[in-house]
Structure 1
């Protein structure tokens, strides 16, 4: 279980916290909680991955409440590719700047849904489970959020 999911869990947490050491500590906390709660896991209710991301989501929220709202600036994300021309890099940088500005305009649930979909590769059903929404509502929210970002940035 650990080997199969640790990288996704760590990437999700790293997107929420500023320091890699905090992400490592929180990832350990997730798997410790999962180990302690394994007897309560019900495969009829959710997959192991969804269950782990539910724990992860709660661990991150608990940590953020204790620390205050800590976020990672999207501009810190590495976007250069050695095969890109300077013009392509400039276009990509402009797009990232636009996304960074406009993500602040979105609601918390919208940002969280995008993060889970594209950062952690969760399905709409898994995201809905984490956010307390049904699959159809989740799909529609993600679709509308992407549409907003396209209108604002493209």
Structure 2
């Protein structure tokens, strides 16, 4: 297999990264609450640099200033996104508070407890089929498993749930 020869632009971006990444990470670290966000913002900055590398000045100090300009815009975009996210969250919370609350009876709590007691891959399959209304093949696709695997898990889940719910005198009902 032939290796592709790197371009001068790729070399330039790599050099700019090596020379400035630590300072840019510190720049972001002083401006965000969560340290992992600083790393994400650094990554986004160099993604922009990669996409627009033809605009990066060739001179190292000018490239550094260009990268910090990109970083400032990336940070501003992230802040605007956080504000939009917060606004939407508040609107959704306000809407949900106006909806009537669903009555959760003892039977529902017992069923949830039984679902929590079986393996997670089985309980999620049961939830997708019985609560969310998906067919078994559709649920298998959502979970990224084969239909035959889904059928086996579903059968095992039914058996285990039947035993768990029998203790509470509920009968398993197939939809």
TM-score (norm 1): 0.41
Which structure would you say has the larger Rg?
2
TM-score (norm 2): 0.36
Q: Which has the higher contact order (CA 8 A, sep 6+)?
A: 1
